[in-house]
């Protein structure tokens, strides 16, 4: 069977996304219809609003993507959609449309783990494909440190015990009255600030394991704020960002050097953070490690990463059963 064109759908949270990928490396189109403006006034994602908008947007987006790629639906070789984890009512829209297309076209279907999408996204476009590596996934919902042995074979090395890194950015931004999602706003403010002005905790740095915790840092910011006067926003953003980045970099480098793997990858929405990109690049250079950062366009939620995982799995003979349901708690590592 041909392994040429995959059409992939991503609707795990508040972005409706469609991508078409040829031969695992030629990204013909990657469309993301963001709903951020609809959720901003609530300060976070409202599942009912997200689901209704996925339903309204998904078919026009698929049609638009096909036109953009110059591809007819009948030419698509297989369909992929995010199976989980995520918001069930959001997942169901993309997953049902994906399965429906697969049945209607008589083409294979692949349900993809959203986290595997983030995890492998740094390899999209790399002629060598996925390599054994230490993978840091930092998004709004997850902070995971994984060992990648090969596609489908991952080992959990560490995870957050409370808030995800992106969630910490979003919550601190809310305390500061900055718009949702908070990561990009804090990143912008931090560029004008002094990261050494406020001494904030680097939780779990000496814990001896590879887990993370960010809720103490958020609480430290909350208690500090009422004591501050004058112009502090840029310095506070920079100091908070530096604390998050320091822990992420320290644990990731420690995992790579202890385990002895050459490749380090960083992906997920927080991997857009310019300070994280700077500091992890510097640390990898110092340790002689090879860093693969997700392209910023493929860091926040998108369907290109789902298409890429589908491609890697399809060529290894993997297919999903059509009676399998979307799973909001889908695990990456059993």
Q: Candidates 119-127, 179-187, 205-213, 322-330 — which segment interacts with ligand KG4 by CB under 6 A?
A: 179-187
139 binds ligand KG4 (CB under 6 A): yes
CB of 118 to ligand KG4, least distance (A): 6
Comparing CB distances to ligand KG4, the nearer of 55 and 270 is 270
Judged by CB under 6 A, the residue of 141, 158, 193, 195 near ligand KG4 is: 141
Q: Record the tokens describing residue 32, joined without a space.
A: 């993301």
3-state secondary structure 118-161: HHHHHHCCCCCCCCCEEEEEECCCCEEEEEEEECCEEEEEEEEC
Please report the DSSP string for 182-214 in residue order.
Answer: HHHHHHHHHTTS-TTSS----TTTTSSSS-B--
195 binds ligand KG4 (CB under 6 A): no
Q: How many residues bind ligand KG4 (CB under 6 A)?
A: 19
Q: Candidates 139-147, 151-159, 198-206, 226-234 — which segment interacts with ligand KG4 by CB under 6 A?
A: 139-147
Task: Answer yes or no: are the C-beta atoms of 14 and 35 closer than 8 Å.
Answer: yes
14 binds ligand KG4 (CB under 6 A): no
Angstrom distance (rounded) from CA 45 to CA 205: 31
Alpha helices in 4-161 (DSSP H): 36-40, 47-69, 88-105, 114-120
Out of ligand KG4, Zn ion, none, what residue 272 binds, judged by CB under 5 to 8 A for its kind, is ligand KG4
CB of 110 to Zn ion, least distance (A): 18
193 binds ligand KG4 (CB under 6 A): no
Helix (H) or strand (E) holding 246: helix 233-259
Q: Record the tokens describing residue 328, joined without a space.
A: 């909001």
CB of 118 to Zn ion, least distance (A): 6
Judged by CB under 6 A, the residue of 166, 237, 255, 256 near ligand KG4 is: 166
Angstrom distance (rounded) from CA 69 to CA 27: 9
- Residues 245-304 interacting with ligand KG4 (rule: CB under 6 A): 268-270, 272-273, 300-301
Out of Zn ion, ligand KG4, none, what residue 300 binds, judged by CB under 5 to 8 A for its kind, is ligand KG4
Instruction: Give the chain's length.
Output: 334
117 binds ligand KG4 (CB under 6 A): no
**What's the angle, vertex CA 109, arms to CA 12 and CA 77, rounded to 5?**
115
Among residues 334, 331, 320, which one has the least CA distance to residue 84?
A: 331
Which positions lie near Zn ion, rule CB under 5 A? 139, 301
CB of 1 to Zn ion, least distance (A): 30
- The residue ranges that bind ligand KG4 (CB under 6 A) are 13, 139-141, 166, 169-170, 181-184, 187, 268-270, 272-273, 300-301
């Amino acid at each position: 069977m041909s392994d040429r064109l995959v059409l992939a759908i991503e609707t795990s949270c508040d972005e409706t996304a469609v991508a078409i990928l040829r031969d695992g490396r030629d990204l013909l189109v990657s469309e993301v219809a963001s709903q951020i403006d609809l959720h901003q006034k609530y300060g976070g994602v409202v599942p009912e609003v997200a689901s209704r908008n996925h339903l309204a947007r998904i078919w026009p987006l698929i049609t638009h993507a096909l036109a953009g790629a110059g591809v007819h639906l009948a030419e698509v070789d297989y369909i992929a959609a995010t199976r989980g984890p995520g918001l069930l009512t959001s997942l169901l829209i993309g997953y049902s449309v994906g399965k429906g297309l697969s049945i209607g076209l008589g083409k294979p279907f692949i349900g993809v783990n959203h986290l595997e999408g983030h995890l492998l996204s740094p390899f999209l476009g790399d002629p060598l494909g996925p390599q054994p590596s230490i993978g840091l996934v930092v998004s709004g919902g997850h902070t995971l440190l994984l060992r990648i042995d090969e596609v489908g074979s991952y080992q959990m090395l560490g995870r957050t015990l409370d808030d995800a890194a992106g969630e910490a950015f979003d919550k601190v931004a809310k305390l500061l009255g900055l718009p949702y999602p908070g990561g990009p706003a804090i990143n912008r403010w931090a560029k004008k600030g002094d990261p050494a002005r406020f001494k904030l905790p680097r939780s779990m740095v000496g814990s001896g394991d590879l887990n993370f915790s960010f809720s103490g840092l958020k609480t430290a910011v909350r208690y500090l704020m009422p004591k501050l006067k004058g112009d502090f926003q840029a310095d506070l953003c920079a100091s908070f960002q530096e604390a998050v980045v320091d822990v992420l970099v320290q644990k990731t480098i420690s995992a790579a050097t202890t385990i002895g793997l050459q490749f380090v990858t960083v992906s997920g929405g927080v991997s857009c953070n310019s300070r994280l990109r700077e500091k992890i690049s510097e640390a990898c250079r110092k340790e002689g490690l090879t860093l693969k950062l997700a392209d910023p366009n493929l860091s926040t939620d998108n369907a290109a990463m789902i298409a890429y995982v589908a491609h890697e799995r399809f060529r290894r003979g993997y297919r999903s059963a059509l009676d399998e349901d979307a799973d909001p708690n889908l695990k990456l590592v059993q």
